[in-house]
Amino acid sequence: GSSAMGATMVRNKLKDAGVTGIEVIHAPVSEIPKDCQIVVTHHELAHRAVASNPNARVIPIKNFMGAPEYEVLVKELAEGRGASGAAPVIEEKAQSSGKILLEKKNIILNCKPVSPEEAIKAVGRRMVESGYVEEAYIQGMLDREASFSVAIGSHVAIPHGTEESRKAIKKTGLIVMTYPEGIQWGDELVRLVVGIASTGEDHLGILGKIVEVAETEEDTDKLVDSAGVDQLYKLLNGLE
């Protein structure tokens, strides 16, 4: 989830800068390809990235949305520094599968402030009611938050389960909840919560759309303050 959105942001910024021949993938820190030359990872995981990829340049960031390090890296690559001899890797396209993964009934606006744990449980209950997951997935999402915050910056959080809890997923689906007054989520303020249950890569298209419409705190605030159910449905399903 988080790394997929980060990869989409870097990919988009490279494209906007006119940089070609450099491709981007996302992977768990334990599965970073050995021939990878630049690794962008959350600062809490940087030591693991260095240990598993000692020859790679590791760039630690604090959040995956709007990290200032993206701009510095893209500028450097655009100027040809640090990219010479870089072997392209397989690019993972964040394209829509064509399926409607976000139903209108699962877009809940103007929620009252709650704790992060309560927000995750609310998302989980909706997933269970919609037939996306079994009850056990809710605990998987809480476990994921306990080990690594799902608040990714730009006033966005993306609750999703641990790898172990994926067996409790019945089918891919998403839940969107807005919190106009905000939730204090650790060090982050969160106003847009997007819950993810995915059996594969189907959700990447919607994550790519979230990156497009909520890249900055100002973008997210505008979306939460002004977008209705129909607009969010169309935007995030790639229908407009």
Name the amino acid, one letter, at 1. G
Q: Which residues make Cβ contacts (< 8 Å) with residue 20, sequence separation at least 6?
A: none
**Separation between Cα atoms, residue 53 and residue 41, nearest integer Å:** 12
**Separation between Cα atoms, residue 164 and residue 135, nearest integer Å:** 14
Q: What is the DSSP string of 106-149?
A: GEE-SPPP--HHHHHHHHHHHHHHTTSB-THHHHHHHHHHHHS-
Q: What is the DSSP string of 37-57?
A: -EEEEEGGGHHHHHHH-TTSE
Ramachandran region of residue 87, left (φ > 0), alpha (ψ -120 to 50) or beta? beta
For residue 226 the two structure tokens come to 């002004």
Query: Which whole-number Å values give the CA distances from 63 to 69, 72, 101, in the listed order?
Result: 10, 15, 25
Beta-sheet strands, E only, within the chain: 38-42, 57-61, 107-108, 151-153, 156-157, 173-185, 188-197
Q: Which positions are catalytic?
A: 160
- DSSP assignment, residue 66? S
